[in-house]
Amino acid sequence: MAAGRCRPGDDTDRLLAVAADQLLIDGREGPAVVAGYPWFGEWSRDTMTSYEGLVLEIGRAGQGRLLLQRAAASLSEGMLANTTDFGVAEFNTADATLWFLHAVDQHVAVTGDLDLAQRRHEPMPPVSPRLIRPYPLMTEVS
């Protein structure tokens, strides 16, 4: 849990947590962020850019861990799938992978969950070069 970040006695924090509940849901395959609901489903870029506020700041690290693990499973050639709204993984975002790395870093910094960071190395060793090397090639996607 993000100790000291969300103050349950604070009305503003309580309202923000309720608002976050509208976006961080239990999806078919686990926790999901639906930032464009009802028009869009899960989008990894939206998920990763909002990760700190929707997950860490309100003490939902357990859900966040599962969310990051699911995202990591979609990595292909250094790119994070952006969405599967249309039944197939779409790799149409150049910076979602970088936001993913930032989310993992912040998750570990806040929770001390070093096991999560170590597990990220198993499917993609070593993490940084594998993800960063193809990055210049991805920029034409966006």
pLDDT, averaged per 10 consecutive residues of the chain (142 residues), comes to 53 84 86 83 91 91 93 85 86 89 93 78 48 52 46
Q: Is residue 5 part of a domain?
A: no
Distance of CA 61 to the CA centre of its chain: 11
Per the structure, the complete domain to which residue 98 belongs is given by 11-138
Query: What predicted TM-score, i.e. pTM, was given to this entire model?
Result: 0.77
Instruction: Write down the residue that tokens 């309100």 correspond to.
Output: 58
Q: Is residue 2 part of a domain?
A: no
- HSE at residue 67, side-chain half, CA atoms within 13 A, is 30
**pLDDT score recorded for residue 15:** 86
**pLDDT score recorded for residue 131:** 57
Q: Is residue 60 part of a domain?
A: yes
Q: Is residue 55 part of a domain?
A: yes
Q: How many domains is the chain built from?
A: 1
Q: Which residues, at least 6 apart from 14, have a Cβ–Cβ distance to it below 8 Å?
A: 8
Q: Is residue 6 part of a domain?
A: no
**pLDDT score recorded for residue 142:** 45
Q: Is residue 122 part of a domain?
A: yes
Q: Is residue 121 part of a domain?
A: yes
